[in-house]
């Protein structure tokens, strides 16, 4: 789960990291009130989870509460990289002397958390990594954590001044505590600012949480942004299915994540466009299958619609007859408006075919054939 900046800053504050006072607003009026209560110059920041907010006009300075009102109205009207801005963070402005980059990220290759530090703060760090990799210091963190002296020695070359080093080291140690205790896979401060009056501040915050650890963090559910989810995505999450909506017109229901990706790829390979990724899981019950159809058709009803629905099931642990029963039940509940193509192979395949045949449905055994048929049928619908 990716947190919004305002959520990440709440988490930062809880761990004692230096963030400036601020609050999230959903309307220009709220933004004005927050600006008034903070006093002085504020920054109005779009709360969307993409980089390049500043360039897109999503970060604005406001000197008065009225200006905050107007700037918030502007920013709330933006759509940045396809994401409509629904909230703004109104936060105190800082007098920035220097901007650094500081992050702790899971390094999958080393299999350790990694501290990344750069003097080129405020920039797109991926761009820095590509063009000036030598400007980023990387230091793996042993599993027992970072020691204060290590934090200081890491920061000394960048900051020089002992008081700044001490402050920044404190930030790094707290960031590590947050990364560890909150089960993050990324905790990033960009920029970590040094102000003109010698303070070290986290002016932005980006946090990615390890979804697998959600069971021990009850507060995470409150951070989930319902507006960011399609109805289908919400349903998938609540029912425990993996689902990602895409832009194409061929819906696919597949058992297993790898096979689901390969199915999408094969649709594209044969000239079609997948409408989604959907993994119905290893032990697919009829209920899961009906849910899967509801997810795809529900989301499709909102957008451009799908033109064919493809089932690709490799029965191992999944029983093909369970899937067939699910398909039949789903169709009885709500007939499909688009062609249905079924590929089934493996465990209880014969029983599945009988169930389908009794309802006038057929299934192929080959993945390539199923995909090509689905594309052909989708094209017929178009024509």
Q: Considering beta carbons, is residue 174 or 372 the nearer one to another protein? A: 372
For residue 352, the minimal CB distance to another protein (Å) is 15
Establish if 317 lies at the interface with another protein (CB under 8 A): yes
Structure tokens at 167: 């402050």
Q: Which of 40, 82, 126, 360 forms a contact with another protein (CB under 8 A)?
A: 126
Q: Which of 120, 179, 188, 243 is catalytic?
A: 188
Q: Which stretch binds another protein (CB under 8 A): 72-80, 109-117, 145-153, 160-168?
A: 109-117
Site string for another protein, 144-183 (x = CB under 8 A): ------------------------------------x--x
Q: Which of 91, 118, 255, 325 forms a contact with another protein (CB under 8 A)?
A: 255
Q: Considering beta carbons, is residue 294 or 348 the nearer one to another protein? A: 348
How many residues at the interface with another protein, by CB under 8 A? 51
Establish if 246 lies at the interface with another protein (CB under 8 A): yes
H or E segment at 174? helix 162-181
Using alpha carbons only, what angle is made at residue 296 by residues 263 and 331, rounded to the nearest 5 degrees? 100
Contact by Cβ (8 Å): 278, 237: no
Q: Which of 6, 101, 179, 243 is catalytic?
A: 101
Q: Considering beta carbons, is residue 111 or 218 the nearer one to another protein? A: 111
d(Cα 114, Cα 121) in Å, to the nearest integer? 17
Catalytic site includes residue 6? no
Establish if 297 lies at the interface with another protein (CB under 8 A): no
Q: Considering beta carbons, is residue 7 or 255 the nearer one to another protein? A: 255
Site string for another protein, 218-237 (x = CB under 8 A): --------------------
Using alpha carbons only, what angle is made at residue 221 by residues 47 and 278, rounded to the nearest 5 degrees? 85
Q: Scanning residues 259 to 278, which ones bind another protein (CB under 8 A)?
A: 259-262, 264-269, 274, 277
For residue 297, the minimal CB distance to another protein (Å) is 20
Catalytic site includes residue 179? no
Contacts of 224 (CB under 8 A, 6+ apart): 1
For residue 329, the minimal CB distance to another protein (Å) is 22
Establish if 133 lies at the interface with another protein (CB under 8 A): no
Neighbouring C-beta atoms of residue 200, cutoff 10 Å? 25
Contact by Cβ (8 Å): 12, 19: yes
Establish if 136 lies at the interface with another protein (CB under 8 A): no
Q: What string of DSSP letters covers 248-290?
A: SSEEEEESSHHHHHHHHHHHHHTT--B-EEEE--SS--HHHHH
Contact by Cβ (8 Å): 136, 97: no
Of 28, 38, 108, the C-alpha closest to 73 is 28
Using DSSP bridges, classify how beta strands 250-254 and 308-315 pair: parallel, antiparallel or unpaired: parallel
Bridge partners, residue 134, by sequence: none
Structure tokens at 218: 């009850």
Give per-residue burial for 20-54: e unless 16+ CB within 10 Å, then b: bebbbbeebebbbbbbeebeebbbbbbbbbebebe
d(Cα 321, Cα 157) in Å, to the nearest integer? 65
Establish if 102 lies at the interface with another protein (CB under 8 A): no
Site string for another protein, 182-221 (x = CB under 8 A): -x-x------------------------xxxx-xx-----
SS (H, E, C) 86-143: CCEEEEECCCEEEEEEEEEEEECCCCEEEEEEECCCCCCHHHHHHHCHHHEEEEECCC
Establish if 123 lies at the interface with another protein (CB under 8 A): no
Q: Scanning residues 333 to 352, which ones bind another protein (CB under 8 A)?
A: 345-347
Q: Which stretch binds another protein (CB under 8 A): 5-13, 53-61, 107-115, 325-333?
A: 107-115
Which residues of the chain form contacts with another protein (CB under 8 A)? 106, 108-109, 111-112, 125-126, 129, 143, 180, 183, 185, 210-213, 215-216, 242, 244, 246, 254-262, 264-269, 274, 277, 279, 282, 314-318, 345-347, 366-368
Catalytic residues: 101, 188
């Amino acid at each position: 789960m990716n947190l919004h900046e305002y959520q990440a800053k709440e988490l930062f504050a809880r761990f004692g990291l230096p963030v400036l006072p601020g609050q999230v607003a959903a309307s220009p009026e709220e933004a004005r009130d927050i600006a008034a209560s903070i006093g002085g110059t504020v920054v109005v920041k779009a709360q969307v989870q993409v980089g390049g907010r500043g360039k897109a006009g999503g970060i604005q300075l406001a000197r008065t509460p009225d200006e905050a009102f107007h700037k918030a109205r502007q920013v709330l009207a933006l759509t940045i990289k396809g994401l409509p801005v629904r909230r703004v963070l109104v936060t105190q402005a800082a007098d920035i002397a220097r901007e650094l980059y500081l992050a702790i990220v899971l390094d999958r290759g080393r299999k350790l958390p990694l501290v990344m530090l750069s003097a080129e703060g405020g920039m797109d760090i991926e761009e820095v990594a590509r063009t000036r990799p030598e400007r980023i210091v990387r230091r793996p963190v042993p599993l027992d954590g970072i020691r204060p002296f290590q934090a200081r020695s890491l920061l000394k070359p960048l900051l020089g001044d002992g008081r700044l080093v001490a402050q920044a080291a404190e930030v790094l140690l707290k960031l590590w505590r947050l990364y560890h205790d909150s089960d993050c896979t990324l905790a990033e401060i960009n920029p970590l600012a040094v102000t003109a009056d010698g303070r070290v501040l986290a002016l932005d915050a980006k946090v990615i949480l390890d979804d697998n650890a959600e069971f021990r963090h009850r507060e995470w559910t409150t951070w989930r942004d319902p507006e960011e989810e399609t109805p289908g995505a919400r349903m998938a999450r609540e029912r425990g299915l993996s689902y990602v909506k895409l832009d194409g017109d061929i819906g696919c229901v597949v058992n297993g994540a790898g096979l689901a990706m390969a199915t999408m790829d094969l649709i594209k390979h044969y000239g079609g466009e997948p409408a989604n990724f959907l993994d119905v899981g290893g032990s697919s019950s009829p209920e899961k299958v009906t849910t899967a159809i509801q997810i795809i058709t529900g989301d499709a009803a909102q957008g451009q619609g799908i033109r064919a629905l493809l089932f690709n099931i490799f029965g191992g642990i999944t029983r093909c007859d369970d899937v067939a029963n699910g398909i039949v039940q789903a169709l009885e509940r709500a007939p499909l408006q688009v062609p249905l193509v079924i590929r089934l192979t493996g465990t209880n395949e014969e029983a599945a075919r009988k169930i389908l045949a009794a309802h006038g449905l057929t299934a192929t055994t080959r993945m390539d054939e199923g995909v090509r048929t689905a594309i052909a049928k989708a094209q017929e619908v178009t024509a």
